[in-house]
Structure 1
């Protein structure tokens, strides 16, 4: 028996998808197939196999080193992998051992910018068939399965802001290469448009050549794109996706980010989902997550109220849970040091855990009303660099805790930057402390995963704090 069959890893839908992809690979005469998994940062890693080899290993998997799970955002391995337990306390991950990438055939696509290349998302398993506990897609799958057992599906729509620049110098000299722990020099870039003409057609048309490249290939990937806009700052745009359920919205996000960066790079552009690039006059980018629960029995929106309230009792409890755990979950929605520079008062970004009715200064914006099937919560806390599996899993878990405890979200905040409420963390270090101080996520996600993630985040913070910044040099070098 194959590994997949032996451990019962595929649903009937995935088995049917495997049949279709084999036929499509033959019809399209694919040369290669990329097998990718989302790492702890939501970045795709994996291997490219010759098409025949990929198809023959479809049900047996492809090995990959566990050190992929041990790296921070500089690609530095931050766990002592050659010690007993490999730094994870697990024999299976000691000595940079291998795990198996098992493809999910339902995610198969042919890449439009590389038309003889197929692509699939994978999940990570140990040799005995157990899911690797640090694989975030598997974590998210377990969360939505728990939600399904309660009779609901998670529905999410994505609003993703990012920047596109023209590359002037790719910085590909050997001296620019960098090393783990000290990334190479970023490219020198220029703007595609001047800014602060929010939603004007002139600015859109100025960026349209780059946006059209992305639109064409994103649609060819069958991602449910709804709209494209020029955002508030120079060279900034926003892509909005139709709501989808379950795994789909998280898978869409990782594929979209990877696709945008690859498409732009091939045409002399640089796309970045970094929240606040260090480029004069640019604006911060956010990732607004629209979410609701759908009844599996009736297909109806469980947040929709049938009476005078904006939200159903379940919706209010869910929102209260998001607010209750906002500080602890910030490390999942905003996982970079840079992302906390966006939380500013009077800036169209949240700075405290409050909600409001259609108010863009709050953390959670409530949209819809009685008998409106589109009723939903828009959480405005996230940055576009967040790992979507961790972000969405933390939302569901926190929301359900609010439902279970019948928490009250309090009144709507009409003056969001003056209302008394818990302030969001001002730094990644503060967010990590908040996660450690709130026992909820250790119980809901497992202490093993939380400790693992905290270790990686602390490694990034320690590197940052060891750097002498330009601000320090300017502030103290001459004066003292």
Structure 2
């Protein structure tokens, strides 16, 4: 993606797309979901875009504070010298980073240098393997729509301070429901978040279930 427009990236089109650039940023995702990467020259990037390059496996051997795990993993440990794994750029992940002088950026996926299979602890590799198993059965995976959206519930009243009691003079609002009956009644209100998210059909199904639990 570049300047808000979809761009199909191929190995052949890379030189043209990056013709005005001198550097490229690459990053992979560690087990904590953090991006770990490096900035390399465009010349080097064009040379490794197809086959990938060596990336220290310690990315899966340390925590978010860059401290190695007390119990080291088989894939990354002092005994194997935190050996390199193969990082291959995902060309479809191309975008530019506006707050870093519009530098081109690509995500990478990690592969075992011996088997050429996705590294099991790599989040992107794990997802790829899971999708391939689903597709092998003639199925597909889909995400999106209301069921894939997280709805934030706004709590307007501020938290109570130390020593302040619920329902006291310093408590400006109503807190959580104190019973299933009260919770169900709130759930049924036209302005409830549950009704907005689930819709009337699902809402009333759950509401009726709640009423049966109360009875």
Specify the alignment match of 1:40 in structure 2.
31
Mapping of residues 65-84 of structure 1, within 5 Å: 65-81=56-72
Q: Distance in 1 between matches of 2:128 and 2:93?
A: 14
1:22 to 15, 28, 49: 15
**C-alpha distance in 2 between matches for 1:125 and 1:367:** 44
Judge conservation of contact 1:35–1:48 (CA < 8 Å) in 2. Answer: yes
Q: Whole-Å Cα distance in 2 between the matches of residues 418 and 367 of structure 1?
A: 18
State the distance in 2 between where 1:345 and 1:417 align.
Answer: 17
Q: 1:75 to 1:91 in 2, by over 3 A?
A: closer
Is the helix fraction higher in 1 or 2? 1
Does residue 232 of the first structure (1) align with residue 25 of the second (2)? Answer: no
Q: Give the direction of change, closer, same or farther, for the CA distance of 1:99–1:368 in structure 2 (3 Å limit).
A: farther
Q: How does 1:421-440 map to 2 (within 5 A)?
A: none
CA deviation map 1:12-69 (0-9, x unaligned)? xxx962222331001xx11211111111122211111111111111123232221211
Residue 126 (str. 1) matches residue 117 (str. 2) = no
Contact 1:66–1:93 (Cα < 8 Å) also in 2:
no
Establish whether residue 414 from structure 1 lines up as the match of residue 183 from structure 2: no
Deviation digits for residues 197-242 of structure 1, max 9, x if unmatched?
A: xxxxxxxxxxxxxxxxxxxxxxxxxxxxxxxxxx7368xxxxxxxx
The residue number in structure 2 matching 1:267 is none
Distance 1:368 1:147 in 2: 33
1:103 aligns with 2:84: no
In the alignment, the residues of structure 2 paired with residue 67 and residue 31 of structure 1 have an alpha-carbon distance, to the nearest angstrom, of 28
The TM-score with structure 2 as length reference comes to 0.62
In 2, distance between residues paired with 1:415 and 1:360?
17
- Specify whether residues 24 and 133 from structure 1 end up closer, same or farther in structure 2 by C-alpha distance, changes over 3 A only: same
Aligned length: 173
CA shift for structure 1 position 119: 0.6
1:136 aligns with 2:127: no
**How much has 1:136 moved relative to structure 2?**
1.2
Partner of 1:63: 54
The 3 A distance-change label for structure 1 pair 413 and 16 is same
* Aligned counterpart, 1:148: 135
Q: Per the alignment, in what secondary structure is the counterpart of residue 131 of structure 1? A: coil
**Higher radius of gyration, 1 or 2:** 2
- Distance in 2 between residues matched to 1:118 and 1:103, nearest whole Å: 12
Change over 3 Å in CA distance of 1:91–1:74 after alignment to 2: closer
CA RMSD between the two structures: 4.1
Q: Which runs of 5+ in 1 are unaligned?
A: 1-14, 82-86, 163-230, 235-279, 282-343, 347-355, 370-376, 378-410, 421-480
Give the distance between the partners of 1:73 and 1:99, measured in 2 at CA.
Answer: 20
Whole-Å Cα distance in 1 between the matches of residues 36 and 75 of structure 2? 23
